[in-house]
Amino acid sequence: MVRIKKWQTLKEEGVDLFPHRAEITHSVTQVKKEFESLSAEELEKDGIRVSVAGRILTVRKMGRATFFHLGDALSRLQAYLRQDKVGPTEYQRFSLLDIGDIICIKGRLFRTRTGELTVLVEKYKFLAKCFHPLPEKWHGLQDVELRYRKRYLDLIINPESARVFWLRSALIAEIRKFFDERGYIEVETPMMQTIPGGALARPFKTFHNALGIDLYLRIAPELYLKRLVVGGFEKVYEINRNFRNEGISSQHNPEFTMLEFYEAYKDYHDMMEMTEELLVHLAQKLLGKLEITYGEHQISLQRPWKRIKFRQALVEYSGLSPAKLADKSAVIELASQLASEKTPLSYGKALDVLFDKQVKPRLIQPTFVINPPKEISPLAKSSPENPDEAERFELVIAGMEIANAFSELTDPIEQKKRFEQQAEERRKGDEETHPIDLDYVQALEYGLPPTGGEGIGIDRLTMILANKQSIREVILFPLLRPKD
RNA sequence: GGGCCGUUAGCUCAGAGGGAGAGCACCGGCCUUUUAAGCCGGGUGUCGCUGGUUCGAGUCCAGCACGGCUCACCA
């Protein structure tokens, strides 16, 4: 292989093939940021010298002078290498390098005839060999599978991909700041649980050898966070992974990142206010605007957002009359047609199916859908005006559920009853019910203050802000079937 | 899991029964402000895998693998 041979030649010429460090003054991105605004004259006058390391991305050789670009994940910087600057030995040695190799250069900044900020190289140092040719320079790496399997190649070659993950990182940092400034404590609760509660979903199962017990990867941190509110952490949040053993789609990855936060003395109306505040803040801070593009849609995050009752939404978007909606057997009948071969649906689940199918996809602008059936909300307080409804909302943007919140159920007796109802549903054949967690009930018996709680899907929020249609575009290493 | 589509050079893709193609990348040569640098020369391949049909299969058929979109379930 040609690249290996070149690399061996470097060794024969006494070049250190695995250097331990490089003396740099700037990253490629820093140079761009700091000096891009300076004119050719200013650069000439100031004589700014920099030492920058990066990957060789392009090379244009013209006899005794060569132009090339060094890149990091976000930007690229041009360099100009001349034989009369570095001498014939070093100049010729440069042809032993390949696109993809990592080097460090030192030199003065100037602007070329066409105006590009460029380093006039005085010295360069080999740092790492790239033994494989990089994907092509102007189509980049298109193959979606390869982009996910070899994410490093994607990041090297497609600046748009790197941009998404910088955005994601900034998003999470900003969320932390938001909660920290409001006096919240950030915590970590078990990822491995003996009772997988806090949501209705199938868990991953594993086994602890020393204890000889089954464990489940958590489907939500909810019950632990509320135990902490009982313990006096009145404002608490966690940003961490959840695991659900269910289908994979453009909106679902088996492990995904969730923000959950709980605040004592608040209810779900307060959570709506806070959600608007948080998302508006994030959009403003990260994108500098509230009118955003998502696929073919224009989405406005201008407050206040639409609030609509769950039942009202069903009437408005599914075209069912209120009378028809109240007819339990008719609703169940209709829903089971939509949800093929599902185990017998309860009335509440049937309504939920209709909502998911017929309403959710049509909610493009941010919409709080409030007061869904109590039956599908075993951890939420019921509404004082209508005991069949829960004090709960789902936030839908671009047809995706982004957030889910409620006034937490604080009554231990009622909570135990709800758990038992769930167990009853399970006996009837529903696999997605909430397991009974008596330890949690006991925590409630010590007194959980009125509390508002909410979960926000970080991956989906990133999708909205980064304008990506697939969750795999915002997860560095999405789950793929192993090859071979 | 179902349906539709895809898999050809390192990358991006064309090729539709007669024996493997282009651009970029790569190799050799020329070139001291280029930037999709240019000019001359060079094809580097398990056509996803396994069978089948055929004188002959990258091309047609079947099965399998992996992926994409979509439906179903979920957030």
Q: Is the CB of A204 under 7 A from strand B?
A: no
Q: Within window 370-409 on A, which residues have Cβ closer than 7 Å to strand B?
A: 400-401, 404
Chain A residues 288-307 with Cβ under 7 Å of strand B are none
Residue A452 lies in a domain: yes
Is there a single domain that holds both residue A31 and residue A72?
Answer: yes
What distance in Å separates the CA atoms of residue A205 and residue A218, rounded to the nearest whole number? 9
Q: H helices within A88-206, ranges in order?
A: 88-93, 144-149, 151-157, 159-181
Asked whether strand B has any atom less than 7 Å from the CB of A210, the reply is no
Which nucleotide has the shortest C1'-to-CA distance from A95? B27
Question: CA A13 → C1' B39, Å?
Answer: 32
Quote the CA–CA distance of A458 and A461 in Å, as a whole number. 5
- Indicate if A248 and A396 belong to the same structural domain: yes
Give the Cα separation of A223 and A440 in Å (integer): 7
Cβ of A58 < 7 Å from strand B?
A: yes
Peptide bond into A387 cis (omega under 30): no
Q: Is residue A312 part of a domain?
A: no
Say yes or no: A171 and A127 in one domain: no
Q: Which domain holds residue A383?
A: 157-305+365-473
> CA A483 → C1' B5, Å?
21
Using the structure, give the distance in angstroms from the CA atom of A144 to the C1' atom of B7, rounded to a whole number: 12
Residues A250, A471: Cα–Cα separation, whole Å: 5
Is the distance between the Cβ of A467 and the closest atom of strand B smaller than 7 Å? no
Report the C-alpha gap between A124 and A71 in whole angstroms: 15
Give distance CA A10 / C1' B31 (Å). 25
Q: For the beta carbon of residue A373, count every other beta carbon within 10 angstroms.
A: 22
Mark which of A100, A134, A168 sits at the end of a domain: A134
Asked whether this complex has an ipTM greater than 0.90, the answer is: no
Residues A67 and A191 in one domain: no
Helix (H) / strand (E) element for A441: namely helix A438-445
Query: Is the CB of A146 less than 7 A from some atom of nucleic acid strand B?
Result: yes
Q: What CATH number should be reported for the domain holding residue A20?
A: 2.40.50.140
**Same-domain status, A18 and A162:** no
Last residue of a domain, one of A99, A134, A169: A134
| Pair A91, A215 in one domain | no
Distance of C1' in B1 from CA in A483, Å: 20
Strand B neighbours among A 148-187, CB < 7 A: 148
Distance measured from the CA of protein residue A307 to the C1' of nucleotide B46, in angstroms: 60
Of the candidates A319, A325, A460, A469, the residue with the CA atom closest to the CA atom of residue A401: A460
The reply to whether the CB atom of residue A59 sits less than 7 A from any atom in nucleic acid chain B is yes
A247 touches strand B (CB under 7 A): yes
Burial of A255: CB neighbours in 10 Å, binned 0-12, 13-18, 19+: middle
Residue A400 inside a domain? The answer is: yes
Q: Give domain status of residue A331, yes or no.
A: no
Residues A193 and A234 placed together within one structural domain of the fold? yes
Distance A66 CA to B31 C1' (A): 11
In this complex, the answer to whether residue A232 has its CB under 7 A from any atom of chain B, a nucleic strand, is no
Identify whether residues A412 and A463 lie together within a single domain: yes
Q: Is the CB of A285 under 7 A from strand B?
A: no
Interatomic CA–C1' length for residue A132 and nucleotide B21, angstroms = 24
DSSP one-letter code for A58: E
- State the Cα–Cα distance between residues A456 and A479, nearest whole angstrom: 21
Sign (positive or negative) of CA dihedral A142, A145, A147, A153: negative
A480 touches strand B (CB under 7 A): yes
Distance of CA A146 to the CA centre of its chain: 20
Same domain, residue pair A126 and A188: no
Q: Which helix (H) or strand (E) holds A113?
A: none
DSSP state of A358: I
A175 and A268 assigned to the same domain:
yes
Task: Specify if A258 maps to a domain.
Answer: yes
* AA identity, residue A48: I
* pLDDT of amino acid A108: 96
Sign of CA dihedral A317, A320, A321, A323: negative
A339 CB-to-strand B distance under 7 Å:
yes
For residue A425, is it within any domain? yes
A177: which residues sit within 8 A by CB, 6+ positions away? none
A434 contact partners, CB below 8 Å, separation of at least 6: A197, A199, A200, A378, A379, A418, A419, A422
Report the 3 state secondary structure along A320-356: CCHHHHHCHHHHHHHHHHHCCCCCCCCHHHHHHHHHH
From the CA of A132 to the C1' of B46: give the distance in Å: 20
Which chain B positions come under 7 Å from a protein C-beta?
1, 10-13, 23-27, 30-38, 65-75
CB-based contacts of A112, cutoff 8 Å, min separation 6: A78, A80, A118
Q: Are residues A299 and A448 in the same domain?
A: yes
Quote the number of domains for chain A: 2
The CATH number for A247's domain is: 3.30.930.10
Closest C1' nucleotide to A200's CA: B74
Instruction: Return d(Cα A417, Cα A415) in angstroms, integer.
Output: 5
Reading chain A (484 residues) residue by residue, the pLDDT tens digits are 789 999 999 999 999 999 999 999 999 999 999 999 999 999 999 999 999 999 999 999 999 999 999 999 889 999 999 999 999 999 999 999 999 999 999 999 999 999 999 999 999 999 999 999 999 888 889 899 899 999 999 999 998 899 999 999 999 999 999 999 999 999 999 999 999 999 988 899 999 999 999 999 999 999 999 999 999 999 999 999 999 998 888 999 999 999 999 999 999 999 999 999 999 999 999 999 999 999 889 999 999 999 999 999 998 887 788 888 888 888 887 787 776 545 667 888 888 888 888 899 889 999 999 999 998 899 999 999 999 999 999 999 999 999 999 999 999 999 999 999 999 888 877 777 899 999 999 999 999 999 999 999 999 999 999 999 999 999 999 998 887 6
Helices A222-230 and A438-445, axial angle in degrees (round to 10): 20
Rounded to whole angstroms, the distance from the CA of residue A167 to the C1' of nucleotide B34 is: 33
Kindly determine whether the C-beta of residue A82 is less than 7 Å away from any atom of nucleic acid strand B: yes
Residue A290 covered by a domain: yes
Q: Is-contact A376 A310, C-beta < 8 A?
A: no
As a 3-state breakdown, chain A gives helix, strand, coil percent values, each rounded to 5, of: 40, 25, 35
Predicted confidence at residue A25, as pLDDT, reads 97
Same domain, A50 and A95: yes
Interface residues 6-35 of A with strand B (CB < 7 Å): 6
Q: Which of A101, A134, A167 is the last residue of a domain?
A: A134
In a domain, A250, yes or no: yes
What pLDDT, on a 0 to 100 scale, did the predictor assign at position A484? 61
